[in-house]
Amino acid sequence: MSVYIIAEAGVNHNGSLETAFALVEKAQEAGADCVKFQTFISENTICHQAEKAPYQKEATGGDVSQLDMVKKLELPFEAFLKLRERCNEIGITFLSTPFDLDSIIFLDTLDMPFWKIPSGEITNLPYLLAIARTNKPVVMSTGMCEMEEIRTAIDVLKANGTPKVTLLHCNTEYPTPFSDANLRAMETMRSSFNVEVGYSDHTPGIEIPIAAAALGASIIEKHFTLDKNMEGPDHRASLEPQELKALVEGVRHVEAALGDGVKRPSPSEQKNIDVARKSIVARCAIQRGEVLTEKNLAAKRPGSGISPMRWFEVLGTQAVRDFAADELIEL
């Protein structure tokens, strides 16, 4: 099964529908399977006294609250209808993550193929129940989570209507230090919960998500932006369009390279077998009837003659004809 690549536009449109359309176009051009946004009503999601995360302060300063910052990034519900329509027109899947109950109700009308639950909502029981009762598959990020928190969320979802849960390993720091990526946690979750796993990446660059694909991630999610220098909390930890394209290409190359696991000569190397392997040849001129010994035989390329693996079968026999030096031995 092909790795499913989610281009996370998130709020990198900065509240502009025009920029959001451009992000859709760039995600499709890069070859992503899906472009994902974030849907929320700011006042339903964030309290007035909520502080910014340290990375948000670093990116946007500390002069306004988290609520005021996010309010500038909010798109109205009608915008997502237009974004879905544009996605359908150009052939990329539309997705948006809800951050409050009203947004769940709205997005449920857009016939998305699955829900993407962000890491921060795993401990939000009313949210999980609302998602589960739509009876759609769920892809859930697991940043900041203990294993028991993940298990509890899965149990809630499955007990209330979710038919399938896929877990994305994630680290909720922007950017994530390489030393904290802990990609092997994917296998821990796969074996512990018996589910498909993927990786939502916040490390700099593209190497780590490509490595995750090599380790068996079924889904890769990565933030992208039109320009890392744009104002906003997530641009610095996002890929620009050409980097997103390189990520998609890298994942596809890894995907092709993984193969089927059967060890056999590949079609591309078949032609090199005779070139690289060796045959039993005459070390020097040999006359018909002469006994073949280690003194008058050698193993040399090409490999189109008798294999040196038959060395002891050939030793002690008589030459069936005259052989010139380096000529392939025949029996």
> In which band, very low, low, confident or very high, does the pLDDT at 282 lie, cut at 50, 70 and 90?
very high
What is the 8-class DSSP label of residue 299?
A: E
CA 136 to chain centre: 22
SS3 199: strand
Q: In which band, very low, low, confident or very high, does the pLDDT at 260 lie, cut at 50, 70 and 90?
A: very high
Mean pLDDT, rounded, of the chain: 97
- Quick one: what percent of the chain has pLDDT higher than 70? 100
Is pLDDT of 1 > 80? no
CA–chain centroid gap for 253, Å, is 11
On whether the CB atoms of residues 216 and 187 are closer than 8 A, the answer is: yes
Average pLDDT score over residue span 42-64: 87
Q: What share of the chain is helix, strand, coil (3-state, %, to 5)?
A: 40, 15, 40
Tokens linked to 18 = 């025009």
| Amino acid making up residue 65 | S
Q: What is the dihedral of CA 313, 315, 316, 321, to 10 degrees?
A: 100
Helices (H), 200-308: 207-214, 241-258, 273-276
Q: Which are the contacts of 308, defined by CB distance < 8 A and separation ≥ 6?
A: 278, 279, 280, 299
Cα-trace Rg, the chain: 30
- The mean pLDDT value for 143-169 works out to 98
- The full set of domains in the chain, from first to last, is 4-258 (3.20.20.70), 270-314 (no CATH)
Report the pLDDT averaged over residues 300-306.
98
Res 57: pLDDT: 84
Least confident of 46-60, 116-130, 199-213, 297-311: 46-60
CB 122 within 8 A of CB 140: yes
**Which of helix, strand or coil describes residue 60?**
helix
**Strand pairing of 297-300 and 279-282?**
antiparallel
Tens digits of per-residue pLDDT, 62-98?
A: 778 899 899 999 999 999 999 999 999 999 999 999 9
User: From CA 302, how far away is CA 300, in angstroms rounded?
Assistant: 6
Q: Is 161 within 8 Å of 155 (Cβ atoms)? A: no
Query: Is the preceding peptide bond at 175 cis, omega within 30 degrees of 0?
Result: yes
Q: How many helices (H) and strands (E) does the chain have?
A: 13, 10
Cβ–Cβ under 8 Å, residues 234 and 174: yes
Contact (Cβ atoms closer than 8 angstroms) between residue 2 and residue 196: no
- Name residue 23's amino acid: L
pLDDT number for residue 64: 83
Give me the torsion for CA of 195, 199, 200, 204, rounded to 10°. Answer: 170
Other Cβ atoms closer than 10 A to 234:
25
- Residue 153's closest CA among 186, 129, 178? 129
pTM of the predicted model as reported, rounded to 2 decimal places: 0.91
Rounded distance between C-alpha atoms, residue 157 and residue 176, angstroms: 28
pLDDT value of residue 52: 86
Q: Which residues of 13-37 are buried (b: 16+ CB within 10 A; e: fewer)?
A: bbbebebbbebbbbbbebbbbbbbb
The residues, ordered by sequence, that sit 6+ positions from 91 with a Cβ below 8 Å of its Cβ are: 28
Torsions phi, psi for 228 (to 5 deg): -65, -20
Q: How many residues does the chain have?
A: 331
pLDDT band at residue 61, thresholds of 50, 70 and 90?
A: confident
pLDDT of residue 76: 98
Reply yes or no on whether the pLDDT at 15 is more than 90. yes
